[in-house]
């Protein structure tokens, strides 16, 4: 009788263990927004002046290393920032990384590890006081995972550095080059839970842009596709940010009244994009594009998603 009793206990223990094991499968925590993008620049002072004096943003955090500025952070709003770093390699891609905000960076670390991605052994606290770490997507783009901390340099500036002169108070998306769209979709959609919301392109037979919305928010990342090796100028245009504005012509008038730093490309005239949203492109000293765009299509009707073929870059062997 005791043998049957202990056997029953063993079975129940095994069942409980199985249930517990299933319950312990790491789950993806919420991703609630696009937090920031980090760019390299060949001229840090010029780029800081461009963002501060021309675009109107406050430099909320400045970090130094060996007596030189190693990071400048400009505040778009309380949860979105533009980070600027001095270049490490000349004539290289200007994008360093972009970041998404999660409610639980440690849970995300455990989840990503369970999916086979390389992550730190623990969630560190960064130089600005946030919980953050890098994960590299299958195309080599660095995606930073951020959970805002309650202490540190960023938290100390909460409620401050929100200039009335800033040209926009919301970064609607970040765009970055993607050679293999299938690999990108497998990571951002299948692993991180992003939702595809739109495809577009200048050629109706080809898809150049794929917009993916964060799973628990409304901001997007724009996958910039290509099938030929891009020029330096084209790279600066593809790796970009989009700042949302209410009226593109009023925005242009404001910027026309300000002194644009010398050495940058002339901005494009206002026009409706393929998505039927009015926009202007401005450029920083490295050719990095800042897209200013109205929130809604000019006629209030969303542009249809492209049915063209997704572009993919296949490197040619020498």
| E strands present in the chain | 31-41, 58-65, 68-77, 80-86, 95-102, 131-136, 142-147, 171-178, 195-200, 206-207, 209-213, 220-225, 240-245, 271-272, 278-283, 289-294, 309-310
208 and 274 in contact (C-beta within 8 Å)? no
CA–CA distance, 174 with 179 (Å, rounded to integer): 16
pLDDT recorded at residue 317? 65
pLDDT recorded at residue 315? 81
225 and 210 in contact (C-beta within 8 Å)? yes
pLDDT recorded at residue 3? 38
Query: Which CATH number describes the domain made up of 31-310?
Result: 3.10.180.10
CA–CA distance, 104 with 145 (Å, rounded to integer): 9
Domain boundaries along the sequence of the chain: 31-310
* Two tokens, residue 157: 């500036």
pLDDT recorded at residue 223? 98
pLDDT recorded at residue 202? 93
How distant is the alpha carbon of residue 151 from its chain centre?
23
Cβ-based neighbour number of residue 213 at 10 Å? 18
Per-residue pLDDT of the chain (318 residues; tens, 9 = 90+): 433 333 343 434 433 433 333 468 999 999 999 999 999 999 999 999 999 999 999 999 999 999 999 999 999 999 999 999 999 999 889 999 999 999 999 999 999 999 999 999 999 999 899 999 999 999 999 999 999 999 999 999 999 999 999 999 999 999 999 999 999 999 999 999 999 999 999 999 999 999 999 999 999 999 999 999 999 889 999 999 999 999 999 999 999 999 999 999 999 999 999 999 999 999 999 999 999 999 999 999 999 999 999 999 988 765
CA–CA distance, 227 with 229 (Å, rounded to integer): 7
Coil vs helix vs strand at 185: helix
């Amino acid at each position: 009788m005791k043998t049957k009793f202990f056997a029953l206990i063993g079975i129940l223990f095994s069942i409980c263990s199985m249930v517990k094991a299933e319950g312990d499968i790491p789950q993806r925590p919420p991703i609630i927004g696009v937090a920031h993008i980090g760019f390299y620049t060949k001229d840090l002072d010029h780029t800081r002046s461009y963002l501060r004096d021309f675009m109107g943003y406050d430099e909320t955090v400045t970090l130094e290393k060996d007596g030189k500025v190693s990071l400048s952070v400009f505040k778009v709003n309380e949860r979105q920032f533009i980070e600027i770093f001095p270049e490490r390699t000349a004539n290289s891609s200007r994008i360093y990384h972009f970041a998404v905000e999660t409610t639980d960076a440690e849970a995300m670390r455990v989840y990503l590890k369970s999916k086979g991605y390389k992550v730190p052994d623990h969630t560190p606290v960064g130089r600005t006081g946030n919980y953050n770490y890098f994960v590299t997507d299958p195309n080599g783009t660095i995606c930073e995972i951020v959970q805002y901390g309650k202490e540190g340099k960023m938290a100390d500036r909460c409620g401050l550095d929100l200039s009335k002169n800033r040209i926009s108070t919301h970064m609607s998306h970040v765009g970055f080059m993607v050679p293999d769209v299938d690999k990108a979709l497998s990571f951002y959609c299948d692993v991180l839970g992003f939702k595809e919301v739109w495809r577009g392109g200048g050629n109706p037979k080809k898809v150049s842009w794929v917009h993916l919305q964060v799973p628990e928010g409304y901001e997007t990342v724009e996958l910039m596709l290509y099938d030929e090796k891009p020029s330096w100028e084209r790279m600066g245009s593809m790796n970009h940010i989009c700042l949302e504005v209410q009226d593109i012509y009023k925005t242009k008038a404001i910027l026309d009244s300000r002194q644009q730093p010398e050495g940058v490309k002339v901005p494009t005239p206002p026009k409706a994009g393929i998505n039927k949203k009015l926009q202007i492109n401005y450029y920083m000293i490295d050719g990095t594009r800042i897209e200013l765009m109205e929130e809604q299509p000019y006629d209030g009707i969303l542009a249809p998603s492209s049915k063209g073929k997704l572009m993919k870059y296949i490197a040619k062997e020498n």
